Each structure stands twice: as C-alpha cells, then as structure tokens.
Amino acid sequence: MDDTGALDVLLNEVRVFRPLPQTIIEANVNPQEVTGAYRLAQEDPLAYWEEAALELEWFRKWDRVLDSDNPPFYRWFPGGQCNIVHNALDRHIRTVNRNKLALIWEGEPGDSRKFTYFELYRAVNRFAGALRSLGVRKGDRVAVFMPLLPETLIAMLATAKIGAVHVCVFGGFSAKALSERICDSQARVVVTADGFYRNGKVINQKAIVDEALNSACADCVDTVVVVHRAGVDVDMVSARDIWYEDLVRSEAPETRTEVMEATDPLFLLHTSGTSGRAKGIVHTHGGYMVGVARTMNWIFDIKPTDIFWCTADAGWITGHSYVVYAPLLCGTTTLMYEGHPLYPQADRLWSIVARYGVTALYTTPTLIRMLMRYGSQFPRQHDISSLRMLGSVGEPLNPEAWVWFHRHIGRGECPLMDTWWQTETGMCMLSPLPVSVLKPGSVNKPLPGVEAEVVDRQGQPVPPGKGGFLVLTKPWPGMLQTLWNDPKGYAQAYWEKIPGVYVTGDVARKDEDGYFWIQGRADEVINIAGHNIGTAEIESALCVHKAVAEAAVVGVPDKIKGEVAKAFVVLSEGRELGEDLVRELKAMVRRELGPVVVLKSVAFVESLPRTKAGKILRRVLRAQELGVDPGDLSVLDEE
Ligand code: WT7
C-alpha cells in the first residue's frame, strides 16, 4: 500500500432491502429504542454497557464500569464478581427455563441427543466435580480437543464453572498444532474423544492427542479424559488416560460455582491465523458475558420459542460465543450438528432446519456459496419456513451470495445479519439489527456502544466512499484482555500501529449513509498502478457472473503496473470453461469496477485452499503463483 494507506473503491452496489412492517412490529428492540440506544451510547457509552450488565446476575456489583487507567489494558467491571456459568445455567434452574431445551445435538449418522437446562446443569456439575477431583483449580488450564459433541459444551462450561480456563483446539487440527497450543497454555488436562464421524468416515482423534503429548513441553498434562463417540480402538495410557463415563459416574449432580472476579480469564483461544503464528487470545468472565449476551439478544431478536443454530464448530470463537455462551445466557435452545454439511447429500442443513424447526440460522459465506452452487432445488425439498432470522460471519459475503441466501433460504423476508467481528473482539461489533435497512455486501454499522472508523495510516478518517484501515476507537466489553504470556505483543499487534486505536487488520470503506463495507485483509490489498484495491471487490465482481461459484484474487508482480490481479475461479455446477469465459470474466470485472483493475489471468480450480475454519487462504495461492514459501500450513484444511 502507499503512504496514506487509502484504498480505491470501485464497486457500487445499490440494492437496498427494507425490513417488513411485521418484522418491525415484532422486534424486541424497535426502531425508536434503537435510536435511543445509539443516542445513549454516543453520549455515555459506559452507561449503555452498564445497563446491559444489569440484565445479568452478579455476586458483587462492580466498582467501576471501565478502568482505563493503563491503556491498552482496559479492565471491564473491575470489583465486580460473577461467573458466566451462573448466568448461562445456574440461574435458569430457578425459572421457567428449567425444563426447556438448552441443547439439541445431531450426530452425522443421524443419532440425536437433547438436554433440558436442568439436565445440562446436572451434566456440567458432574464434570465440574470430576475436574475438581482431578486437582484442577481456579486459574488452571484445561485443553478441549473435541469433535462437536454435547460433551464439548459440557467440558467448556464445567471448566469455567470451577474457575479454570478452557483452551479449545479445533478437533480437526494436527498433533503439531495441538501440542503447540498445549505447550503455550501449559494445560493440566486434555479432554478429547476416541474419534468422530466426518463425511461418512470415522476419524481417529485420540491417536492425535497421544502424538501431541510426545512433545517434551507437553508434560504439563497429567490427565487425558476420553469421551466414547465412534467406537474407535484406542490405547489408554495407564495413570494418565481415563474414560469420561468412568470419571463422572460417581460425581454428584450439584457442585459449587466458583466466584470469579469480572476480570479473571474465562478462556484462551488461539487465532485461526490466516496470516501467521497462532496467538493466545484471552477473554474474561465479566465483559465477555455482557458483550455476547447483549449482541445475541439484539441482533438475533431472541424469543422464547427460538431454536438457534450457529453452524460453527465450538472450537472457534464463533462457536464459543454463539453456539455455547450467548444462547445459554439468553435462555434459548442451541443446536449443534457434528458432521459435514453436505453429508450424505447437499440437503443436510435443510433437513435439520425442517426436522427441529430451526428459527435462526447463523453461518458463513463459504457455506452459503457452497450451498448456492448446488442450487435451490435442495432447500425446496424441505419445509424451512420456521426460519425467521439469518446471519453470516467470517468473510465478506458477496452481494450475489447475499441475495441468494436472502431469497432462497429467507423467502425474501428474514432479516439477514452480516456480522463483522474477530476472535479478539469476542462479540459482534458491526452488524445490522432486525429493523435495519440492509444493503447486500455491507456489514451495516457499528452496534450501539461500539465505535469504529475507517482511517489512513496516520489515523485520520478518510472521506466517505474512500477505503482505509478499519479501526475501533473505543474499548468494548467483549474485548480481549491481552495475549497469553505476551502483553507486549498485545499492545504492539493491536494498539501501536496507529496510536490510540485498535487496528483490526482489515480494510474497509464507509459510504454516504455511514454503512461499512469490508474490502478484505490489509495485508492482501493489491496495488495496481498506484491504486490500492481490496480483494473482496474484485471477487464480488467476478461472482456476478452466473458461471462463477466462488473466486479468490491475489496480486502478482507486473513490470508496468507494479501489480496486477490474478483470479482463481470455481465454476458453478454444470458450467464449462473456455476462452470465451475468460474473456467474459475480464469484461465483467471491467464493467463492474472500471478500467483500473487489470485482471491479468484467470485459473479455473476445483476448490480454493481454505483454513480449517473455512476462510480462503490467498497467501497459499499467491505463494504457489510466485514459487515462494507459503508460510505456516498447519491451518490449511485438507478436505
Ligand atoms: C476476521 C476475523 C469472529 C468471526 C469468525 C472469524 C473476517 C469476519 C466478517 C464479515 C467480512 C469478516 C475479517 C476479520 N470477517 N466477519 N462479516 N465480513 N469479513 O474470526 O478467525 O478471528 O477472523 O474475519 O477479516 O478480521 P477470526
């Protein structure tokens, strides 16, 4: 990028979707209340968040809402005492939620398990007691290396209940990635499964743990708890390994919830790292709880009759916040599906929505584009009319995919919430609300109590319509506390690149109406003849062509222009490639974006390289193209 870091913005999406009158009437937070919340949050953001905190139960009220004495080490609700599990489970046992479904789980082979709040409470207590009997104490780390099972959520809540810190590692990671995270956190216990089902196959998981624990730095681990899932033969190492069922059998269904300081760590989670080394992001009990509960309630408009399905794995932040904690904090029913979304065929999601009457579906652009590629005949085979709210997160949702999702899944009626946030932010930051006017491809505006801006390298706001760095200009309750073992790194990575603000690492633009449009990652911006262009724009333009299911664009060096764009394109079902198509795609990009973008070449590929969380890994494509080192490949999904 050039000195200022300002971006050229070329794409001009003009479609607008207004909320239905019925949506406005039924919304928990109506337009007047939204306006009021923005006004309050602008005048006094701490008052806004204090109000949100008062909706939850505390063992002791905070002395201050926010301690800003030592930035960037902001402390939310200091003096306050709480435990997120008290709010997610314990308090529901005394209310009408007691016998309501907390969790619906479906395995890939089609088996299903359900837990009421009371049943989940008892299961969590048993495992919490078991962890205590293993000697786990407040502040100790417990690694959770699991497929998506009820026990995954139970292990997380049980750990938090006794004040220990969970460290989830996505169950599809390698032994190397697992041992790095165990070593970094010095976990005492690992919770895992014998194996799990994925795309019709049984994956052996325990063997990966055994391999990971061979590393010298992993001798911090004294117990491995193994959940029976897939009937895999496993080597149980005596005095170290124990079956989950044997461990909890004699435990009481009641146990004390540890009283935590609001600022005590709840979990650490290593970032998925599209860019490089995994960092241990630290989140707390108090602020995180307030942030995820409020955003869940407001964005997804939670009603007593909801069945909420966030398709993320619990091992990612999206799963932590919107599969596990926020739904339970809101007293709603959360749905978990163990397996591959296309197994045994492309209608699995719609069959699940229909059978359980899912009311809100929160998923990723990757999955939306994949399902779109299979066409609308699959959703048409099922009655998915229970859906009332849609959501997306993780990557820019290109307008064509947005419109398909809204029309074919949401009947053109369901509000579609494109939510922007990060592992570091803990909670949704930019997002529409159900009563918002929607623009496909835009993440709308910062939520009440969140302040974001688009700035140049010096931190000066760029004018509307221009692109620049997306920064957060005020602390927010769900924010990371620090990096595990690396407070200096925390300050440097996020707060010192542009003084005084949190740098997200994304580039974005703001339009005349104040709507934000994410242009991609700052380190993937392409500079063509002095014009900085975000990858998302060129990719969105390519996706306008009916033949394109998905596209990734990278910059490659060019003698004259400095850089030019190269596209990797996945074709829609039944489309053929050829010279004509390449010409059409180049013309399409020129028509949508103007002559500035030189699309040098197009390669047709079967699929794009992705992280295990589903994000396109452009650096791998670029490295391949230039014949250079692609960097850390442990995050690459081999599926
Ligand atoms: C990065 C954070 C917490 C969400 C799961 C990923 C990208 C996230 C959007 C969106 C465009 C998005 C950004 C962000 N991203 N949501 N709605 N539109 N881009 O968490 O792995 O920490 O990744 O995901 O680039 O910085 P993560």
User: In CATH, what number is assigned to the domain containing residue 603?
Assistant: 3.30.300.30
| Spatial separation of the C-alpha atoms in residues 315 and 486, rounded to whole Å | 22
* DSSP classification of residue 266: E
CB 490 within 8 A of CB 480: yes
| Mean pLDDT value of segment 106-124 | 98
- Those residues with Cβ within 8 angstroms of residue 130's Cβ, 6 or more apart along the chain or in another chain: 158, 225, 247, 248, 251
Bridge pairing between strands 360-363 and 389-392: parallel
In percent, the amount of the chain with pLDDT more than 90 equals: 90
pLDDT at 273: 56
* pLDDT > 80? residue 527: yes
pLDDT at 276: 58
Is residue 203 one of the residues assigned to a domain? Answer: no
Is residue 540 one of the residues assigned to a domain? Answer: yes
Q: Which atom of ligand 1 is nearest to the CA of 273?
A: 21
* pLDDT > 80? residue 486: yes
| Mean pLDDT value of segment 143-151 | 98
Backbone torsions φ then ψ of 25, nearest 5 degrees: -65, -40
421 Cβ inside 6 Å of ligand 1: yes
E-strand ranges in 61-153 read 66-67, 75-76, 81-82, 101-106, 112-116, 141-144
* pLDDT > 60? residue 198: yes
* pLDDT > 70? residue 536: yes
pLDDT at 578: 78
Q: Which atom of ligand 1 is nearest to the CA of 397?
A: 18
Write out the two tokens for 89: 């489970």
| Mean pLDDT value of segment 288-293 | 98
CB 293 within 8 A of CB 54: no
- Those residues with Cβ within 8 angstroms of residue 64's Cβ, 6 or more apart along the chain or in another chain: 77, 78, 79
436 Cβ inside 6 Å of ligand 1: no
Distance 423 CA to ligand 1 centre (A): 8
Give the number of domains in the chain.
1
pLDDT at 576: 80
Interval 407-439: pLDDT, tens = 999 999 999 999 999 999 999 999 999 999 999
393 Cβ inside 6 Å of ligand 1: yes
CA 575 from centre of chain: 32
Is residue 273 one of the residues assigned to a domain? Answer: no
Helix (H, G, I), strand (E, B) or coil at 556: strand
Please report, in angstroms and rounded to a whole number, the separation of the first and last CA atoms in the chain. Answer: 34
Is residue 110 one of the residues assigned to a domain? Answer: no
Instruction: Tell me which residue of 158, 117, 155, 140 sits closest to 314, measured CA to CA.
Output: 155
* pLDDT > 70? residue 274: no
Q: What is the ipTM of this complex?
A: 0.99
Residues constituting the chain = 639
* pLDDT > 90? residue 630: no
Place of tokens 């703001």: 510
Interval 362-403: pLDDT, tens = 999 999 999 999 989 999 999 999 999 999 999 999 999 999
* pLDDT > 80? residue 11: no
* pLDDT > 60? residue 308: yes
Q: Which atom of ligand 1 is nearest to the CA of 504?
A: 26
pLDDT at 440: 97
In percent, the amount of the chain with pLDDT more than 70 equals: 98
* DSSP classification of residue 634: T
Is residue 59 one of the residues assigned to a domain? Answer: no
E-strand ranges in 147-258 read 165-168, 189-193, 195-198, 201-204, 223-227, 241-243
pLDDT at 436: 98
Is residue 604 one of the residues assigned to a domain? Answer: yes
* pLDDT > 60? residue 268: yes
Structural domain harbouring 582: 524-626
* pLDDT > 90? residue 639: no
pLDDT at 463: 94
User: For a pocket test of ligand 1, which of 11, 393, 423 has the largest count of ligand atoms closer than 8 A to its C-beta?
Assistant: 393
Is residue 222 one of the residues assigned to a domain? Answer: no
| Mean pLDDT value of segment 197-214 | 97
pLDDT at 2: 57
Query: Model's pTM, two decimal places?
Result: 0.96
Mean pLDDT over all residues of the chain? 95
pLDDT at 113: 98
Distance 613 CA to ligand 1 centre (A): 11
Is residue 569 one of the residues assigned to a domain? Answer: yes
* pLDDT > 90? residue 491: yes
* pLDDT > 80? residue 487: yes
